[in-house]
Amino acid sequence: MSEAIAIIPARGGSKGIPRKNLQRVGGVPLIGRAILSARAVPGIDRVLVSTDDEEIAAVARGWGAGIVARPAEIAGDTASSESALLHALEILDGDGIDVGVLAFLQATSPFIDSAALARAIDSVRRGDADSVFAAIETYGFLWRARDDGSATGINHDDAFRPRRQDREPHFLETGAFYVMDAAGFRSAGHRFFGRVGIAEVPERTAIEIDSPEQLEIARAQAHRSNASDRALEVDAVVTDFDGVHTDDTALVDADGNEQVRVSRSDGMGIAMLRREGIPVLILSTEQNPVVTARARKLRVDVRQGVDEKAAALREWADQAGVTLERIAYLGNDVNDLACLEIVGWPVATADAHPLVIAAARVVLRRAGGDGVVRELADAVLRGRRSSAGEASSPSPTARSPR
């Protein structure tokens, strides 16, 4: 049976936003968000990223995609997406892979609607349409500017202003995805051909990132949708100490000795992670005996007194044999940003600095010192149970061309 393939073109060059496809929205690189959206569709058999950039390729592999090396001659500013898609199909042909349905996803659309994508694939596979594109319904009045500075209506009569309920709706492409019959696309060489269908998507998903301003809007929107009750599929947990295990306050006696307030429920959460064999590290910028004592009590690794937290995290991950994409890092302040930017699951406390919240993939409900580590542990264990359930039943996986 022929396969449904998702291809995400992702060039390394970008003038408006440098390294755009690797920019993070909601704690996830744009290329990773597109991959996750494709992998969430059961009808997609294979997810591939076409790129000329080694860093993008490495990140894409980490998020579960296969790679098609994109030649330089079709990776410049003037190269079309169609050229990348046709090249990828040629590579798949050479590997003996029969592609029946082609889904073209754009990483610059950070909120791809997987349910709408699934319906579009089903529509093309059934033969109801040859090409389907994501769009939002609009009743907007469009105008064209003339050379003399005046304007004229495009989709309406200038002299007549009908009510919304009396107007015919139009549809605006979002750019998020295009689904095509693969044979028809090869013949046409363009994403629109034959019977064209519309996949309506929610307006909140319609943002397409082409400017720094749109990137900031997407980040703000992602923050509002970062659910704290989701399951985290990770292999290790790393946390800051002050403001995470504590409420970021300290009692200091006359001799300069510090005492901090911690949550017993956090200790139970750490114990539960340890019982599941999930490594835990406390990573702190300060050198403080109280950090050592707490780590000893919890029986977890600790690195403290480190100026470069991200470098220390990379070193620990290498020693533990855990990829950064499979680590949850819980932080609360700006000295955590470097670590949050390199892990697959950047997590923030409820009372974190605004920059930390903006960088997080998940914002928890609890504050530092108030059981936030236990909340994270529960989310990680939900992910572990979810993964075990999926492993017991067959499911499609992302595969790479040989």
Confidence of residue 225 (pLDDT cuts 50, 70, 90): low
Q: Dig out the tokens for 209 from the structure.
A: 């990132």
CA atoms of 240 and 247, how far apart (whole Å) = 12
Express each pLDDT in 115-167 by its tens digit: 999 999 999 999 999 999 999 999 988 899 999 999 998 888 888 888 888 88
pLDDT of 221 > 90? The answer is no
Residue 217 and residue 329 share a domain? no
Residue 284 and residue 159 share a domain? no
Cα atoms in the Cβ-side hemisphere of radius 13 Å centred on 355: 9
Residue where a domain terminates, one of 202, 224, 246: 224
Q: Is residue 399 part of a domain?
A: no
Cα atoms in the Cβ-side hemisphere of radius 13 Å centred on 333: 15
CATH number of residue 101's parent domain: 3.90.550.10
Residue 382 and residue 270 share a domain? yes
CATH number of residue 294's parent domain: 3.40.50.1000
Residue 115 and residue 244 share a domain? no
Residue where a domain terminates, one of 172, 194, 224: 224
Q: Which residues are CB-neighbours of 315 under 8 A, at least 6 positions away?
A: none
Q: What is the mean pLDDT of the chain?
A: 91
Angle (deg, nearest 10), helices 30-39 and 114-126: 50
Of the candidates 387, 335, 325, the one whose C-alpha atom is nearest the C-alpha of residue 361 is: 325
Q: Is residue 328 part of a domain?
A: yes
Q: Which residues are CB-neighbours of 255 under 8 A, at least 6 positions away?
A: none
Sheet holding 280-284, edge to edge: 301-304, 280-284, 236-239, 327-331, 345-348, 362-363
Residue 217 and residue 88 share a domain? yes
Residue 297 and residue 158 share a domain? no
pLDDT of 9 > 50? The answer is yes
Residue 206 and residue 84 share a domain? yes
Express each pLDDT in 304-346 by its tens digit: 999 899 999 999 999 999 999 999 999 999 999 999 999 999 9
CA atoms of 169 and 326, how far apart (whole Å) = 44
Q: Say how many domains are in the chain.
A: 2
CA atoms of 9 and 21, how far apart (whole Å) = 10
- The dihedral through the CA atoms of 361, 363, 364, 369 has a sign that is positive
Residue 102 and residue 134 share a domain? yes
Over residues 177-191, mean pLDDT:
97
Domain that holds residue 334: 236-391
Of the candidates 338, 333, 359, the one whose C-alpha atom is nearest the C-alpha of residue 246 is: 333
Q: Is residue 269 part of a domain?
A: yes
Q: Is residue 400 part of a domain?
A: no
Residue 209 and residue 251 share a domain? no
Residue 252 and residue 184 share a domain? no
Q: Is residue 230 part of a domain?
A: no
Of the candidates 12, 92, 381, the one whose C-alpha atom is nearest the C-alpha of residue 232 is: 381
Confidence of residue 224 (pLDDT cuts 50, 70, 90): low
Q: Is residue 296 part of a domain?
A: yes
pLDDT of 386 > 60? The answer is yes
Residue 154 and residue 9 share a domain? yes
Residue where a domain terminates, one of 224, 251, 281: 224
Residue 128 and residue 54 share a domain? yes
